[in-house]
Structure 1
Amino acid sequence: MTGAHRRILVVEDDPETAGQLVEQLTTSGYDVDLAANGREALDRGAARDYAVITIDRMLPDIDGIAVMRQMRDDGIAVPFLIISALGEIDDRVRGLRAGGDDYLVKPFSFVELLARLEALGRRSETVAKETILRVGDLAIDLIARSASRGGRRIPLLPKEFQLLEYLVRNEGRVVSRAMLLQHVWDLHFDPSTNIIDVYVGRVRRKVDDQQAYPLIHTIRGIGYCLRAPG
């Protein structure tokens, strides 16, 4: 992993273990975020783009299995490395079937941990990064054809998903109504139709209502722009 692909989320509730992992991984060149419980892990996983997430099975609020399942349901395809004292075959099988990509039993060698992270990081770069698009806390899964914001799934009809995908792919750029009509509906511009405004209105309500900040902006007289603040 190189550059931005070296960001890792460590999900560990034991302060001593968490501190050791963060220190060792940081020394090894990783950019590390820490979540001390399942809820914090869900929040961070929805808001940031990670190469790998290491997660403990036993967490104080939401267990690691439930966290992985929720993230998978939300369209987050980042590889999970489960780190747990539960090392029986049934434990490992359950963890992998729940969405884990690898399983490391405590106690473990840090050299082995690094090797497994490197392997999962390569998979993350070649697969996950190509199938998940993110803007701010919005994520769209190109494989599952699903979208979520802040970890909550956004119910979208097929054409609404196509519209949102086009806006996300053109993040920060002003997209005219004619461009949307051509690329989403495969139609030439018809000045009499209001289909674009109707669909953008629907998508905007689903994406932006009751959120901390809007993502879809109207550029008066031109079209629309999807961008996050900052």
Structure 2
Amino acid sequence: MRILIVEDETDLAETLTTGLRGEGFTVDAVHDGDAALTFLGDHDVDVVLLDRDLPALSGDAVCRALAAIGHPARILMLTAAGTLSDRVTGLDLGADDYLAKPFAYLELLARIRALGRRGGGSVAAAILEHSGVRLDPARRLAERDGKPLRLTPKELGVLQVLLESAGGVVTPAELLDQVWTDDGERSRSVVKVVVHALRRKLGEPSVIITESGLGYRMG
């Protein structure tokens, strides 16, 4: 897995680079948003550790730019602002996960590995289709009957798991394990909310079937 660290605190960037290389990852580091976009335009990267508070071009602007072009890299946003509102804003920008500073290194490592599993490494994921719903996991683009869908990262993750199940039932616990990385957000009620929102955005006729007491499947 290849990781790009975008962090203007050079000591932290060097510490993370050394530690993650020791875990067997390929790691590069840049210190501003412009350099990050240039690097990502020239190299294949699986996970971006993106500081939100960058000088000049902010982490928010970098995140927006990557989301706009459907860049396949998974984004783990790092910031000193750790309120619920900050986390929601970061995820709405297109980040896949959010970690407040200061953070525990082992938690960072676990989240990176989880994002890597979701992204499937550097291997391009196959296009997934069912009943007019089409998902390109690598570019994180979804559509139904040719019309683009504006989905959040969690909604995209749930849709991917359901499509990959090929009609099989997926339990809420399985969705939590595969899509959620923040223990503070891991609950069946959160899954229910996201599935409801996804079903609404996919439109009629509904293609997500609820199997009472079991979970969800594509129908």
Q: Which residue of 2 aligns with 1:176?
A: none
Return the TM-score normalized by structure 1: 0.54
Q: Which residue of 2 aligns with 1:33?
A: 28
Q: Which residue of 1 aligns with 2:198?
A: none
Deviation string, structure 1 residues 133-163 (Cα, Å, up to 9, x no partner) = xxxxxxx959479xxxxxxxxxxxxxxxxxx
Q: State the distance in 2 between where 1:14 and 1:131 align.
A: 38
Q: Which residue of 2 aligns with 1:108?
A: 103
Q: Which residue of 2 aligns with 1:130?
A: 125
Return the TM-score normalized by structure 2: 0.56
Q: Percent identity?
A: 41
CA contact (8 A) 1:131 1:143 kept: no
Q: State the distance in 1 between where 2:71 and 2:126 align.
A: 10
Matched, 1:50 2:73: no
Q: State the distance in 2 between where 1:92 and 1:128 align.
A: 29
Gaps of 5+ in 1: 1-5, 133-139, 146-230
Q: Which residue of 2 aligns with 1:201?
A: none
Aligned with 1:75 (options 45, 70, 91)? 70
Q: 1:31 to 1:70 in 2, by over 3 A?
A: same
Structure 1 position 77, deviation (Å): 2.3
The total of aligned residue pairs comes to: 133
Matched, 1:64 2:82: no
Aligned with 2:92 (options 93, 97, 108)? 97
Structure 1 position 31, deviation (Å): 0.5
Matched, 1:118 2:118: no
Gaps of 5+ in 2: 128-137, 144-219
Secondary structure at the counterpart of residue 129 of structure 1: coil
Q: Please list, as runs of the form range in 1=range in 2, the aligned pairs for 1:174-213 lying within 5 A after superposition.
A: none
Q: Which residue of 2 aligns with 1:7?
A: 2
Matched, 1:24 2:19: yes
